[in-house]
Amino acid sequence: MERKEMFEKMAQVIVEGKKEEAAKLAQEAIQSGIPPLEAMDAFTKGIQIVGEKYEKGEFFLPELIMGGDAMKEALNILESEIKKRGEKRKTLGKVVIGTVEGDIHDIGKTIVASMLSANGFEVFDLGTDVTADAFIAKIKEVEANILGMSALLTTTMSNQAKTIKALSSEGLRDKVKVIVGGAPTSQSWAEEIGADGHGENAIEAVRVAKELVK
């Protein structure tokens, strides 16, 4: 298979959400001498197409999840090879993400984390029921420049505000951009609590994150 044809196939398996084929193609790329960073770019084109189709209403949540999962499979293999070679993937920024304290909803946040990673961010997913202290500790540890917080309950939304206040108390607010999301949240809520952006869905969260690191 010629390189151009292989790159097109890499993008296509992401669009089709084929996990096993994505992993297989990532391995084939390494074995055929394609630099893993180049292979990564080819797969990224696929996830960008998935995002565009989702925005146009041609794809829905299941296709978005499948595309993100396929991308994750390819990235796991390629990132492992990059580390082995002592190379470094160029990232757009470091994101610490999690669902706030008291809230155990996971699906939306996990999709956002996958899409951010697929689009060139280094993502540290802390899971669910994350305290303000845990967010801050991780931000300090990895020197993150974006914090993403999800809340799916009206009763836990206030913990997004609480974490932003804690960031200010720690002197980190000027260094870290904050994106909030989740069903009960909105752009006006983001403005009210002093967040830098609101992600209505995974595609919007990626767009906002890219804007914030420009």
Average pLDDT on 36-52 reads 92
In this prediction, residue 90 carries a pLDDT of: 82
R_g (Cα) of the chain, nearest Å:
18
114-170 confidence digits (pLDDT tens) = 899 888 899 999 999 999 999 999 999 999 999 999 999 999 999 999 999 999 999
In this prediction, residue 86 carries a pLDDT of: 86
Answering whether pTM is above 0.75, one says: yes
**Confidence label for 60 from pLDDT (cuts 50, 70 and 90):** very high
In this prediction, residue 107 carries a pLDDT of: 85
Q: Is pLDDT at 87 greater than 90 in this prediction?
A: no
Distance CA 80, CA 87 (A): 10
In this prediction, residue 85 carries a pLDDT of: 87
Cβ atoms of residues 190 and 148 within 8 Å: no
Q: Is pLDDT at 1 greater than 80 in this prediction?
A: no
The structural domains of the chain, ordered by start, are 3-84 (1.10.1240.10), 94-213 (3.40.50.280)
In this prediction, residue 100 carries a pLDDT of: 98
119-131 confidence digits (pLDDT tens) = 889 999 999 999 9
Least confident stretch, 17-21, 86-90, 94-98, 194-198: 86-90
Distance CA 204, CA 96 (A): 17
Distance CA 175, CA 168 (A): 10
Distance CA 57, CA 49 (A): 12
- Strand partners of residue 181: 150, 199
Cβ atoms of residues 166 and 136 within 8 Å: yes
Average pLDDT on 53-58 reads 93
